[in-house]
């Protein structure tokens, strides 16, 4: 672990230096992401001008839920998105040989090489949204609740990371996985909806099979209602299962990889 951290810090330092070299690019993309987040928050304000409750969730409860979903996504975009997105292109071009030649875990090296500070900066905005919603709801979470919330955010990040790795790993079998990568953003939209909004087949798919709803609902409910063992087990179990699946599928695909020299 210390060695992995040392490698990650070196990569992060490189990414930050690169960002400082192109400051305008950093500011533009930060504003684009901020605008996208603002649209999601304004949509809540517009909807709740016409109703007081959606699936049993009040305006500020929904704001807390959406803020939680945005927080997980900002972390994903900041820490992993660029590296995972490029992995698909590297597999197709043969540049993935660069990672095979490095003395380290291939999946770790390929998915943590780049850091996007613009995504991480806007994660503080998402935290502010969650804190504001909690304040308006007059919530006073304990230290244990906050620790559980942070742990669930980490589990949610693992789930999103794993889904994305599995999607991009299909490039080992397919000519292009670009269309599959786009599916992630479609699935991510469901994470901003309350669990009660899903019934029947939709509940089976988006709550149990592809737990994008659990990613945001489990942490949000911890802040709203305190410790709930069912939700803790659900998100922790989903994180373990999806991460295991991502590692297995990635290494199965790696066996099929035809390098640039072959």
Number of domains within the chain: 1
Predicted confidence (pLDDT) at residue 165 exceeds the cutoff of 80: yes
Max Cα-Cα span within the chain: 62
Is 176 within 8 Å of 92 (Cβ atoms)?
yes
What pLDDT is stored for residue 147 in this prediction?
A: 93
Examine residue 261 and state whether it is found in any structural domain, yes or no: no
Examine residue 238 and state whether it is found in any structural domain, yes or no: yes
CA distance 63 to 84: 29
Examine residue 91 and state whether it is found in any structural domain, yes or no: yes
Examine residue 262 and state whether it is found in any structural domain, yes or no: no
Q: How many CB atoms lie within 10 A of CB 125?
A: 18
Q: What is the mean pLDDT of residues 207-235?
A: 89
What pLDDT is stored for residue 202 in this prediction?
A: 81
What are the tens digits of pLDDT across the range 231-243?
899 999 999 999 9
Examine residue 76 and state whether it is found in any structural domain, yes or no: yes
Lowest mean pLDDT among 59-68, 187-196, 216-225: 187-196
What pLDDT is stored for residue 222 in this prediction?
A: 92
Examine residue 58 and state whether it is found in any structural domain, yes or no: yes
Contacts of residue 224, defined as CB under 8 A and 6 or more positions apart, other chains included, come to 61, 64, 137, 139
Predicted confidence (pLDDT) at residue 262 exceeds the cutoff of 60: no
Mean pLDDT of the chain: 86
The pLDDT-based confidence of 161 (bands split at 50, 70, 90) is very high
Predicted confidence (pLDDT) at residue 178 exceeds the cutoff of 70: no
For residues 222 and 261, the model is more confident at 222
For residues 209 and 180, the model is more confident at 209
Examine residue 152 and state whether it is found in any structural domain, yes or no: yes
Q: What's the pTM?
A: 0.89
What pLDDT is stored for residue 259 in this prediction?
A: 67
CA distance 118 to 173: 32
The pLDDT-based confidence of 133 (bands split at 50, 70, 90) is very high
Examine residue 177 and state whether it is found in any structural domain, yes or no: yes
Predicted confidence (pLDDT) at residue 15 exceeds the cutoff of 60: yes
Domain that holds residue 152: 2-256
What 8-state DSSP symbol labels residue 257?
-
């Amino acid at each position: 672990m210390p060695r992995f951290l040392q490698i990650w810090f070196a990569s992060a330092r490189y990414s930050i230096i690169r960002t400082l070299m192109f400051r305008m690019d950093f500011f533009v993309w930060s504003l684009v992401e901020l605008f996208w987040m603002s649209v999601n928050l304004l949509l809540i304000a517009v909807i709740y001008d016409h109703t007081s409750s959606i699936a049993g969730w009040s305006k500020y409860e929904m704001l807390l839920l959406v803020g939680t979903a945005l927080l997980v996504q900002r972390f994903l975009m900041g820490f992993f998105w660029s590296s995972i997105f490029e992995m698909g292109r590297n597999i197709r071009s043969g540049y993935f040989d660069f990672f095979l030649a490095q003395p380290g875990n291939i999946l770790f090296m390929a998915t943590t090489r780049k850091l996007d500070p613009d995504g991480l900066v806007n994660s503080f905005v998402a935290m502010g949204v969650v804190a504001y919603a909690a304040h308006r709801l007059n919530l006073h979470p304990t230290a244990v609740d906050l620790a559980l919330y942070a742990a669930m955010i980490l589990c949610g990040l693992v789930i999103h990371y794993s889904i994305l790795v599995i999607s991009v790993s299909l490039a080992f079998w397919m000519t292009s996985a670009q269309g599959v990568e786009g599916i992630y953003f479609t699935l991510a939209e469901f994470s901003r909806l309350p669990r009660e909004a899903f019934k029947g087949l939709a509940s089976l798919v988006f709550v149990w099979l592809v737990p994008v709803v659990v990613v945001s609902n489990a942490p949000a409910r911890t802040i709203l209602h305190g410790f709930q063992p069912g939700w803790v087990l659900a998100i922790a179990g989903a994180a373990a299962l999806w991460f295991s699946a991502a590692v297995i599928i990635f290494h199965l695909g790696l066996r099929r990889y035809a390098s640039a020299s072959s």
